[in-house]
């Protein structure tokens, strides 16, 4: 005579095993889907970041191309790259750096001031010689500042160091323009900062942001 209670116990074991197996498969599938979703989101985020970067580089290229004097198209492309890379390296908006260049040299190739400041960012040679090693630029004399990419690297690094010294962007810009010694003299005399230079940069920066929407 069949003992149905024992048969029930006997049948429940494979069913329980099957249920556990289904649970494990479902759990594994869920983990896979979550991981796959995470990887997909990372890929989408990476691609969007890349698109944003390319768009920003393109807008920088357009701005340079619109204002530059004396550069060919390949040089404009290299300038766009170095302005993008060096600006982000030190935490600046590239259009802010562009505004400084427009104010200093009007984006004219080979610009030299009456005081001997050279290049797009109008760097004084003795400043360039001092800053170049920290900017990752091999200094080979004043001619180094005639190379637009080296000039920009040195100029941006010099501005960065002025910000560190004075803890204030406006003071750093004034120091960049008129020299650290003259700025400190103004500060000792408790005189106001020259406003014209700062206002010009501010106006050009606003114009660039509005025009190129970066």
The answer to whether residue 203 scores a pLDDT higher than 50 is yes
Find the range with the poorest average confidence among 45-59, 110-124, 182-196: 45-59
Task: Give me 194's structure tokens.
Answer: 């020259």
Instruction: Assess whether pLDDT exceeds 80 at residue 31.
Output: no
Mean per-residue pLDDT over the chain, rounded: 88
User: Which residue has tokens 């942001």?
Assistant: 209
The answer as to whether 185 is a domain residue is yes
Q: Residue 192: which CATH number?
A: 1.10.530.10
Residue 156 lies inside a defined structural domain of this protein: yes
Residue 3 reports pLDDT greater than 80: no
| In a domain? residue 26 | no
| Three-class secondary structure of residue 5 per DSSP | helix
Q: How many CB atoms lie within 10 A of CB 176?
A: 23
pLDDT of residue 2: 47
Share of the chain above pLDDT 70, in %: 90
Look-up of token digits 């005579």 = 1
Q: What is the mean pLDDT of residues 119-134?
A: 97
pLDDT band at 46 (very low <50, low <70, confident <90, very high): low
Q: Among candidates 169, 84, 142, which has minimal Cα distance to 161?
A: 169
Residue 137 lies in a domain: yes
pLDDT tens-digit series, residues 61-92: 999 999 999 999 999 999 999 999 999 999 99
Residue 90 lies in a domain: yes
HSE-CB at 162 with a 13 A cutoff on CA atoms is 22
Structure tokens at 144: 């180094």
C-alpha triplet 8, 14, 18: angle, nearest 5°: 130
Report if residue 202 sits inside a domain: yes
Percent of the chain with pLDDT over 90: 71
Q: What is the pLDDT of residue 116?
A: 93
Asked whether residue 195 is assigned to any structural domain, the reply reads: yes
Count of structural domains within the chain? 1
Model pLDDT for residues 159-184, shown as the tens digit of each residue: 999 999 999 999 999 999 999 999 99
Residue 94 lies in a domain: yes
27-36, 63-72, 80-89, 198-207: segment of lowest average pLDDT: 27-36
Q: Is the pLDDT of residue 9 over 90?
A: no
Q: How would you write 91-117 as a 3-class SS string? A: CCCHHHHHHHHHHHHCCECCCECCCCC
Range of the domain at 177: 58-212
Question: Once rounded to an integer, what is the mean pLDDT over residues 138-150?
Answer: 96
Q: How far apart are CA 48 and CA 42, in angstroms?
A: 10
């Amino acid at each position: 005579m069949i003992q149905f209670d024992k048969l029930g116990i006997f049948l429940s074991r494979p069913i329980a095993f099957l249920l556990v197996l289904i649970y494990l498969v479902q759990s594994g599938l869920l983990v896979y889907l979550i991981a796959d979703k995470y990887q997909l989101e990372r890929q989408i985020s990476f691609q969007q970041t890349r698109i944003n970067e390319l768009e920003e580089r393109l807008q920088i290229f357009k701005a340079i191309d619109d204002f530059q004097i004396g550069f060919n198209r390949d040089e404009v492309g290299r300038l766009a790259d170095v302005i993008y890379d060096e600006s982000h390296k030190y935490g600046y908006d590239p259009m802010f750096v562009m505004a400084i260049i427009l104010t200093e040299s009007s984006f004219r190739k080979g610009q030299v001031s009456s005081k001997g400041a050279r290049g797009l960012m109008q760097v004084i040679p003795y400043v360039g010689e001092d800053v170049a090693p920290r900017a990752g630029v091999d200094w080979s004399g004043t001619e180094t500042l005639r190379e637009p990419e080296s000039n920009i690297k040195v100029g941006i690094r010099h501005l960065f160091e002025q910000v560190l010294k004075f803890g204030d962007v406006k003071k750093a810009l004034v120091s960049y323009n008129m020299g650290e010694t003259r700025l400190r003299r103004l500060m000792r005399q408790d005189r106001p900062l020259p406003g014209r230079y700062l206002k010009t940069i501010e106006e050009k920066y606003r114009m660039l942001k509005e025009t190129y929407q970066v």
